[in-house]
């Protein structure tokens, strides 16, 4: 077996082990269900789900917001999801005027309302700008959902619902986040806009 083939096999085995660990954790499944229910309640009541994260987690924030706004499994009305990572003018204005740690919190202050949901994504649970956003969301009586890994970091204490992936590896935690996020999107879609017929 070539070095590349061995690396591929190792990565696939690690991914399989992560999913097995997630599947074997009924408490995690219960928290995923609770997260989906919170998002569905917010959207059904005319509210929204805000997402934030850095780097790969920023990409996940945009990905999951897109699944809500566009579609997931089937055609249905759009649902209110918004990634706080996409407006370069807003991000650079806040970063310049208030500092990078405030780039998401300021948007939560501007856009978040009681009953909305903030999904903060941080593989370590230690991203300062995500922590500030979670704090701002709690001040606004929003539900806070954290997608974390490792030991959850300081973000764990700011979450109403924490979805902690069973890994210390950043890439594997990110894989778990997108799997959990897809499950949430599917459950929200089915709850808010049931499949016709």
- Tell me if 25 is assigned to a ligand binding site: no
Cα–Cα distance for residue pair 105/118, rounded to 1 Å:
11
Cα–Cα distance for residue pair 150/165, rounded to 1 Å:
7
- Tell me if 107 is assigned to a ligand binding site: no
- Tell me if 99 is assigned to a ligand binding site: no
- Tell me if 153 is assigned to a ligand binding site: no
Backbone dihedral region for residue 126 (phi beyond 0: left; psi -120 to 50: alpha; all else: beta): alpha
- Tell me if 3 is assigned to a ligand binding site: no
3 state SS of 94: helix
- Tell me if 56 is assigned to a ligand binding site: yes
- Tell me if 127 is assigned to a ligand binding site: yes
Q: What angle do CA 95, 127, 72 make, to 5 degrees?
A: 95
- Tell me if 102 is assigned to a ligand binding site: no
- Tell me if 129 is assigned to a ligand binding site: no
- Tell me if 123 is assigned to a ligand binding site: yes
- Tell me if 177 is assigned to a ligand binding site: no
Rg over CA atoms, the chain: 17
Please give the annotated binding residues for substrate, written as ranges. 54-56, 67, 96-97, 122-124, 127, 174
Please give the annotated binding residues, written as ranges. 54-56, 63, 67, 96-97, 122-124, 127, 174, 182
Please give the annotated binding residues for Zn(2+), written as ranges. 63, 67, 174, 182
């Amino acid at each position: 077996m070539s070095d590349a083939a061995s690396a591929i096999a190792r990565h696939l085995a690690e991914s399989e082990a992560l999913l097995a660990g997630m599947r074997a954790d009924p408490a995690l499944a219960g928290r995923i269900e609770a997260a989906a229910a919170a998002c569905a309640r917010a959207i059904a009541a005319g509210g929204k789900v805000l997402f934030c994260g850095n780097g790969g987690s920023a990409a996940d924030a945009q990905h999951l917001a897109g699944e809500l706004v566009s579609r997931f499994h089937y055609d249905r009305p759009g649902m209110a999801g918004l990634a706080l990572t996409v407006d370069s003018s807003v991000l650079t204005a806040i970063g310049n005027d208030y500092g990078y740690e405030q780039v998401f919190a300021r948007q939560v202050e501007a856009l978040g309302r009681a009953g909305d949901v903030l999904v903060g994504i941080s593989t370590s649970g230690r991203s300062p700008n995500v922590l500030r956003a979670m704090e701002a969301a709690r001040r606004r009586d929003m539900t806070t959902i954290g997608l974390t890994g490792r030991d959850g970091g300081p973000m764990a204490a700011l979450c109403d619902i924490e979805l902690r992936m069973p890994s210390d590896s950043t890439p594997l935690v990110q894989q778990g986040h997108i799997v959990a996020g897809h499950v949430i999107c599917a459950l929200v879609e089915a709850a808010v806009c049931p499949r016709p017929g």
